[in-house]
Amino acid sequence: MKFLVTGGAGFIGSAFVRLLLQDPDGSRAVLNLDKLTYAGNLENLASIADDARYRFVHGDICDAALVNSLVAEEKPEVIVNFAAESHVDRSILSPAPVFETNLRGTFTLLEAARTHQTPRYVQISTDEVYGSIDPPHEADENFPLRASSPYSASKAGADLLTLSYFVTYKMPVTVTRASNNYGPYQFPEKLIPLMISNALEDKPLPIYGDGQQVRDWLYVDDHARAILAVIEHGRAGEIYNIGGSRALPNLDVVREILAAVGKPESLMQTVKDRPGHDRRYALSSEKLMRETGWQARVPFEEGLRATVEWYRSNAAWTARIKSGEYQKYYQSNYGGRAV
């Protein structure tokens, strides 16, 4: 089976590409189309870069001519769209690239898939499209969309566009909506890798507001396996939620990180809250489990320990990222945030 994976040099896309190429009978081929934005990193794919079944194309999913020629020539059987501007804080600071990639890019891929009748299209989305959810409720796939940030609004729009291609053109599209991921190779702008890498360097750990916001944590390899399960057993025209193994307030997560790294809680620093900050995400993955048999395998404590160990052993990976554009981002997001 031939896959076109977009955004395969990012955090989750690279985990998915690595999983695909673990294929025991060697029958999968992967074409990875990635623009290599600040978040794209070919080091994430070093372990499979020389695999004969893998090919990398440096390009933009908004480039219709490129996307069309790739789909026409390569005739992938499945397109999986991970490519996105994926961070809420950056989407607040600078929304334009978010709408360009997340909406126009999705449209460009869908049009190429329609023109060349790609047998399967999977749009990788997020639980953030449901917005903040009051306890004790959990969102199932029919829960109303109530996006709070430019990021989540762009993902919700892309989901609706994708699903409209099923209704209108009878295209075999599927949308997956996962909760917060964590694991190796995650860019240190998201909560868990940022807190681990700051803690390892004895830098302050910035907690937005009261730190009682709840996220449902999913180990990245469990997410990658869920996407494969949806491709193998899911139905076209459907949405599948992919929830994590554990809902936790941010403060609990950060305390657990400090304990694992062996640093004092005095490193935590309360900072001004994120505008439009969603209080709680909560997902039901009952449909995914029932229809595909998928289950999360990695308990949070185990996944967090493995993640901390990965960042400890891969300090050079983090250092290279933090030496560049990252400093500017860090200053613009955290600079005026002291309370």
Q: What residues contact 47, with CB distance under 8 A and at least 6 apart?
A: 18
Q: Looking at beta carbons only, is 180 or 307 nearer to ligand TYD? A: 180
Alpha carbons 163 and 141: distance in angstroms, whole number: 13
Binding status of residue 36 toward ligand NAD by CB under 6 A:
yes
Alpha carbons 242 and 287: distance in angstroms, whole number: 9
Q: Residue 15: how many CB atoms within 10 A of its CB?
A: 26
Burial 131-154 (b: 16+ CB within 10 A, else e): bbbeeeebbebebebbbbbbbbbb
Q: Is 210 marked active-site?
A: no
Cα three-residue angle 9-202-91, rounded to 5 degrees = 40
Least distance CB 278 / ligand TYD (angstroms): 7
Q: Is 74 marked active-site?
A: no
76 contact choice in ligand NAD, ligand TYD, none (CB below 5 to 8 Å, kind-dependent): none
Select from 325, 307, 16 the least CA-distant residue to 185.
Answer: 307
Q: Which stretch binds ligand NAD (CB under 6 A): 8-16, 47-55, 204-212, 329-337?
A: 8-16
Alpha carbons 66 and 299: distance in angstroms, whole number: 41
Q: Is 127 marked active-site?
A: yes
Select from 42, 59, 39 the least CA-distant residue to 109.
Answer: 59
Q: Which stretch binds ligand NAD (CB under 6 A): 33-41, 136-144, 250-258, 297-305?
A: 33-41
Q: Which is catalytic among the residues 60, 89, 128, 278?
A: 128
Q: Looking at beta carbons only, is 88 or 267 nearer to ligand NAD? A: 88
Q: Which of residues 83-122 bind ligand NAD (CB under 6 A)?
A: 83-84, 86, 101, 105
Q: Looking at beta carbons only, is 76 or 243 nearer to ligand TYD? A: 243
Residues that bind ligand NAD (CB under 6 A): 6-7, 9-13, 33-37, 39-40, 60-62, 82-84, 86, 101, 105, 124, 126, 155, 178, 180-181, 187
Active-site residue set = 127-128, 151
